Amino acid sequence: MRFRTLQELEALSTSENVSIGRLMLREQSQESGRAPEEEFRKMADYWQVMKEAVRRGLTEDTTSRSGLTGRDAQRVMKRVECGESSLGDAAARTMAYALAVSEVNASMGRIIATPTAGSCGIIPGVFVSSQERFGWSDEEMTFGLFAAGAIGYVIANNSFVSGAEGGCQAEVGSAIGMAAGALTELRGGTPEQAVHAVGLALKNTLGLICDPVGGLVEIPCIVRNGFGAVTALAASDMALAGVRSVIPSDEVIQVMLEVGTKMPEKHRETAKGGLAATPTGRKIMENLYGKKRK
């Protein structure tokens, strides 16, 4: 890859007059030694998996193996369809779709890790609802995934994308940044605006801890995917309106690294702190595993 930072990504994309998504496909083909068509096809297949996960989450039983979660996406959709959502139809659908994919994940259905399984609902939530709304082709959506991947590649290599390393900000936070930047490009924004969207989004999740109840990718992961998808829409809207991330997005990524590195171990996916260590969280864990954990 010829870029290490979002600034370099933006500069390359601008100087070569190509979208971030198309640039990333070229770079990927260069890196893997495989033809661009082959790499595109793989991503296009992933896109179909994402759409199928949304459909399943909205229509099938998504009760998880632990029995703790399931069917919340369907509850939200019902409210959307009654016209009762305070968010409004578009954002509420995005939220429901994100919940749907996260619930499919929790119930051992098929998903694409974006960038992880814990944050797998955000990008499909934003992408599938936006495709329906704006009528974009599958080809455009696939390039959008390459754009999201380019942003994630920079975040992952300069900071982290796993909760065990950097807390939830690294998983859900990164996914929101990726979705926000890619959506900005899909909606006709410039590479500069897309990069601002990433910074705006990441600033909103800095410090978020990873505290899954019972160590499972369920509570609070699923609802955070729902909230995260809505935040991605908001960040993209701000960037397209001309709002700038005054602290450059690359510097915000460095803050995520700083905060994640300092984050106590109990708040990094160990299920020893945060929501997992509340009286109720502990009780759930005892019921699941039949023993107390120190």
Partner 1 sequence: MRFKDVFSIIGPSMVGPSSSHTAGAARMGRVARQLLGSQPVKAEIVFYGSFADTYRGHGTDLAIVGGILDMATDDLRIPDSLKLAEEAGIQVTIRTGTAVTSHPNTAKMTLWSDSRTVEVIGASIGGGNIEVLGVDGFDVKFIAMYPTVCVYHTDRPGMLAELTGVLSRAGINIGHMDVDRKQRNGEALTVIEADSSFPDEAVAEILGLKDVTDVRIVDLEGGESAT
**What residue ranges bind partner 1 (CB under 8 A)?**
1, 4, 24, 27-28, 31-33, 39, 42-43, 45-46, 49, 64-66, 104-118, 120, 123, 145-146, 148-150, 152-153, 156-157, 161-162, 164-165, 178, 214-218, 270-271, 288-289, 293
Which residues have C-beta within 8 Å of that of residue 173, sequence separation ≥ 6? 201, 202, 205, 206, 208, 228, 256
- CB burial of 264-275 (b: ≥16 within 10 Å; e: otherwise) equals eebbbbbbbbbb
Least distance CB 234 / partner 1 (angstroms): 22
Pick the closest to residue 146 from 13, 259, 237 (CA basis).
13
Please report how close the Cβ of residue 239 comes to partner 1 at its closest, in angstroms.
21
User: Where does residue 135 fall: left (phi above 0), alpha (psi -120 to 50 degrees), or beta otherwise?
Assistant: left
CA 245 vs. chain centroid, Å, equals 19
Nearer to partner 1, 62 or 85 (CB): 62
Output 185 or 218, the one with its CB closest to partner 1. Answer: 218
Nearer to partner 1 by Cβ, of 78 and 110: the residue is 110
Residues 150/155/157/159 CA torsion (nearest 10 deg): 180
| Least gap, CB of 129 to partner 1 (angstroms) | 18
Closest separation in Å from C-beta 284 to partner 1 = 10
State the Cα–Cα distance between residues 208 and 37, nearest whole angstrom.
Answer: 38
**Residue with smaller CB distance to partner 1, 26 or 244:** 26
From the CB of 156, what's the least distance to partner 1, in Å? 4
Distance CA 125, CA 50 (A): 9
Nearer to partner 1, 238 or 274 (CB): 274
| Exposed/middle/buried for residue 60 (C-beta within 10 Å: 0-12, 13-18, 19+) | middle
Q: How far is the CB of 251 from partner 1 (least distance, A)?
A: 20
By C-beta, is 73 or 150 nearer to partner 1?
150
Please state, in angstroms and rounded to a whole number, the distance separating the CA atoms of residues 251 and 255: 6
CA-to-CA distance for 92 and 243, rounded, in angstroms? 23
CB of 15 to partner 1, least distance (A): 21
Distance, in Å, from the CA atom of 7 to the CA atom of 26, rounded to the nearest integer, reads 18
The torsion angles phi and psi of 210, rounded to 5 degrees, stand at -105, 105
What's the min distance (Å) between Cβ of 88 and partner 1? 29
Task: Specify the 3-state DSSP secondary structure of 36.
Answer: helix
User: Looking at beta carbons only, is 92 or 228 nearer to partner 1?
Assistant: 228
Nearer to partner 1, 70 or 199 (CB): 70
- How many angstroms separate the CA atoms of 261 and 187, rounded? 35
